[in-house]
Amino acid sequence: MSDRHSEPKPTATYDEVMSANSDYATSFGDKGDLALPPARGFAILTCMDARLDPAKYAGLAEGDAHVIRNAGGRASDDAIRSLVISHKLLGTKEWFVIHHTDCGMLLFDGNTMAGLLEKSRATATFDGTKWANQKEEGGSPEGHHMAWLTFTDLAQSVRDDVERIRNHPLAPKDVPVWGFIYDCGTGKLLPVE
Amino acid sequence: MSDRHSEPKPTATYDEVMSANSDYATSFGDKGDLALPPARGFAILTCMDARLDPAKYAGLAEGDAHVIRNAGGRASDDAIRSLVISHKLLGTKEWFVIHHTDCGMLLFDGNTMAGLLEKSRATATFDGTKWANQKEEGGSPEGHHMAWLTFTDLAQSVRDDVERIRNHPLAPKDVPVWGFIYDCGTGKLLPVE
């Protein structure tokens, strides 16, 4: 296992990230003076999907709002931990839950994922209908013990998460929780009632 | 409880977000053609802090990389769920764990948070030394049952999370996991060894 714990060598991706960061720091301006609490007093919970840039799609500058992201933008226990810290300690007063079209969480279910992982940790492929492992190595049954939080109905997943947050015993009653679908085809936020 | 479950009325913040989104959608260009899997094949796990814009500080365009965010940028079970989906189903090959200076997670501990929430869900205040509730209403003991994932040593929190991810039974062995501190004062990414 020693190879697994040694420091990895920088890769092309690592160098690209460091180079982009150097450019960002060079033009950082007075952003070092921003305060810790979000200036505009709200939080967004959305998906980790690479196509989503919440700062761009919701018009956020650095310092404006908390952004919480996970696979699906789900109201997991950890997302609720983050939202409660956001309000209780850092004063946010409105929360946006934003899932999106063409989400990967619509393409599998927990049993499928656990079954794939049981055989292999390597990346699987999807043929448009089903997932298949390409090589079987290093599998683990641990996937059967994880809640993968997939869904089959996009709008309902938003409603479910808004309701879970509203009903959570640690969530304040007076914080509006807005539900949206982000349309990956148009960039538009579509309210979910 | 009916007031808690009715649809909230749009606020100034809601209108601002919708207006910014309308501008974004108008100049969306051909981003509707982006594929679901991250084009640059990596994922970032970082904090929800409002001052952090991972797309800007790491140089990401829409479609490039998964971004997972929670309070502290911690390797919670939910963050690991997201990372495993990121690699296993969507092919990311490198992961970046990025905490930051002046993090709110350094300013409290789980007992403090649970104690505050037991008395009140309303926003507390910090005088530089300790937290205090401003009004006591709607408290819940539920905070005692939540892992708040605070830390006292920033660099160690990065090392701990990198190690937790590397050692997780569902994490692939061949994915480098890089640890960083983002400096909120300068915008720079500082590697943690």
| A6, A51, A64, A120: best to mutate for the B interface, most B CBs within 10 A | A51
Q: In this structure, are A131 and A50 located in the same domain?
A: no
Does residue B15 sit within a domain? Answer: no
CA distance A97 to A56: 16
Average pLDDT score over chain A: 95
Does residue B1 sit within a domain? Answer: no
- State the distance between the two ends of chain A, measured CA to CA, in whole angstroms: 51
CA distance B97 to A86: 21
Q: In this structure, are B82 and B120 located in the same domain?
A: no
Does residue B133 sit within a domain? Answer: yes
Task: Name the B residues in 53-82 with CB < 8 Å from any A CB.
Answer: 53, 55-60, 62-71, 76-79, 81-82
Contacts of A76 (CB under 8 A, 6+ apart): A70, A147, A149, B78, B81
Q: What is the pLDDT of residue A6?
A: 59
Q: What is the pLDDT of residue B1?
A: 37
Q: How many domains does chain B have?
A: 2
Q: For the segment B71-82, what is each residue's pLDDT rounded down to a tens digit?
A: 999 999 999 999
Q: In this structure, are A100 and A168 located in the same domain?
A: yes
C-beta neighbour count of A107 within 10 angstroms: 17
CA distance B142 to A168: 9
Q: In this structure, are A102 and A160 located in the same domain?
A: yes
**Where residue A115 falls among pLDDT bands split at 50, 70, 90?**
very high
Q: In this structure, are A75 and A170 located in the same domain?
A: yes
CA distance B97 to B44: 6
Q: In this structure, are A57 and A88 located in the same domain?
A: yes
| Nearest CB partner across the interface for A50, out of B24, B38, B58 | B38
**Where residue B6 falls among pLDDT bands split at 50, 70, 90?**
low
A49 annotated as belonging to a binding site for a ligand:
yes
Matching residue, tokens 């930051």 = B100
Please compute the mean of the pLDDT values over residues B13-28 and round it to a whole number.
Answer: 98
Domain CATH code at residue B190: 3.40.1050.10
Does residue A117 sit within a domain? Answer: yes
Record: contact A8-B169, CB cut-off 8 A: no
In DSSP terms, which residues pair with A5 in a beta bridge? none
Q: In this structure, are B54 and B120 located in the same domain?
A: no
Does residue A172 sit within a domain? Answer: yes
DSSP sequence for A118-181: HHBSSPEEE-SS-EEESS--B--GGGGGS-----S-HHHHHHHHHHHHHH-TTS-TTS-EEEEE
Q: B49 to chain A: which residues are within 8 Å by CB?
A: 36, 66
**Where residue A18 falls among pLDDT bands split at 50, 70, 90?**
very high
Q: In this structure, are B100 and B115 located in the same domain?
A: no
Q: In this structure, are B141 and B191 located in the same domain?
A: no
Please compute the mean of the pLDDT values over residues A83-88 and round it to a whole number.
Answer: 98
Domain coverage including residue A175: 42-108+149-191
Q: In this structure, are A48 and A143 located in the same domain?
A: no
Q: Which of A103, A40, A33, A35 is nearest to A73 (CA)?
A: A103
Does residue A36 sit within a domain? Answer: no
| pLDDT of residue A3 exceeding 50 | no
Q: In this structure, are A179 and A129 located in the same domain?
A: no
Q: For the segment B163-184, what is each residue's pLDDT rounded down to a tens digit?
A: 999 999 999 999 999 999 999 9
Does residue A26 sit within a domain? Answer: no
- The pair of structure tokens assigned to B60 is 């990401």
According to DSSP, the β-strands at A131-133 and A124-126 are: antiparallel
Q: What is the pLDDT of residue A137?
A: 80
| pLDDT of residue B141 exceeding 80 | yes
CA distance A76 to A66: 16
Please compute the mean of the pLDDT values over residues A127-149 and round it to a whole number.
Answer: 94
Q: Is B117 on the interface with A (CB under 8 A)?
A: yes
Does residue B44 sit within a domain? Answer: yes
Q: In this structure, are B98 and B135 located in the same domain?
A: no
Interface ipTM: 0.96
